């Protein structure tokens, strides 16, 4: 009976870790990120389970002279293993790195699962709330704080539309920090603008204005 109660306590730890992972996953899913509910939930559940096994799974072998149990060994492998999962979230494309925040969130979710699996409910729960707060605050900040971003525009080789683009940026109070020009094999000109957007500006409005230019072939923000 006592052993059953202990097992139930372990299951509750895993369940609580899953709730924390679920909350973070919902926020990430709502932001259309690479890792959503299932990924964060499974990472939290698996980390809690492995932490419990690492800390309590070898009690029946204690006292034997032939065995030296290291409670941190399995837990340390969680950190190594989660690194491969996080690396898969990071994408390098056109000199732009994306997925770093999602990868860091996966890593932190594993830490939350480990903390709760070790019995540190308060630490794990508080960390989950802090991560949620930071994620929400960062997106709320984008509504009023200036933000730097890139936009790539493909156009015919003469590049006659660039002057009109600068006029659109000026109308929207967008500051051009830098401009890089390159040419495709087909002769099309690619202009990559480095822009500082004012807080609260809708990207959709800007892309619609740029798409209205006759010679613009494609736009990528």
* 148-203: pLDDT as tens digits: 677 778 877 666 677 788 888 888 788 888 888 777 767 778 888 888 777 666 67
- Supply the pLDDT for residue 97: 62
- Supply the pLDDT for residue 73: 76
Lookup: tokens for 175: 């500051």
The DSSP bridge partners found for residue 172 are: none
- Supply the pLDDT for residue 147: 64
pTM: 0.61
Alpha-helix residue ranges (DSSP H) falling in 61-211? 73-87, 100-117, 121-141, 162-171, 203-211
Locate CATH 3.30.70.260 in the chain.
147-220
Which residues of the chain register pLDDT less than 70? 1, 32, 34, 60-71, 92-98, 138-148, 157-160, 185, 199-202, 215, 217-221
CA dihedral angle for residue 183, residue 185, residue 188, residue 189, rounded to 10 degrees? -10
- Supply the pLDDT for residue 126: 92
In this structure, whether the domain defined by 147-220 belongs to CATH 3.30.420.40 is answered with no
- Supply the pLDDT for residue 172: 78
Lookup: tokens for 139: 């997106």
Query: 146: which residues sit within 8 A by CB, 6+ positions away?
Result: 196, 197, 198, 199
- Supply the pLDDT for residue 112: 92
- Supply the pLDDT for residue 24: 87
The DSSP bridge partners found for residue 195 are: 149, 176
- Supply the pLDDT for residue 183: 77
């Amino acid at each position: 009976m006592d052993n059953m109660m202990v097992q139930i306590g372990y299951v509750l730890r895993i369940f609580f870790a899953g709730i924390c992972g679920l909350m973070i996953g919902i926020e990430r899913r709502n932001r259309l990120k690479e890792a959503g509910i299932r990924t964060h939930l499974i990472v939290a559940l698996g980390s809690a389970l492995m932490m419990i096994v690492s800390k309590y799974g070898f009690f029946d072998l204690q006292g034997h002279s032939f065995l030296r149990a290291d409670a941190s060994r399995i837990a340390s492998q969680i950190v190594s293993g989660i690194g491969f999962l996080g690396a898969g979230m990071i994408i390098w494309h056109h000199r732009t790195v994306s997925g770093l925040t999602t990868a860091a969130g996966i890593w932190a979710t594993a830490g939350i699962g480990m903390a709760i699996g070790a019995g540190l409910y308060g630490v794990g729960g508080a960390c989950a709330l802090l991560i949620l707060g930071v994620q929400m605050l960062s997106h709320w900040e984008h509504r009023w704080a200036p933000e730097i971003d890139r936009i790539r525009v493909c156009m015919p080789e003469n590049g006659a539309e660039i002057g009109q683009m600068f006029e659109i940026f000026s109308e929207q109070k967008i500051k051009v920090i830098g401009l890089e020009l390159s040419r495709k094999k087909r002769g099309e000109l690619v202009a990559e603008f480095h822009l500082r957007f004012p807080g609260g500006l809708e990207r959709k409005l800007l892309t619609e204005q740029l798409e209205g230019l006759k010679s613009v072939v494609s736009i990528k923000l």
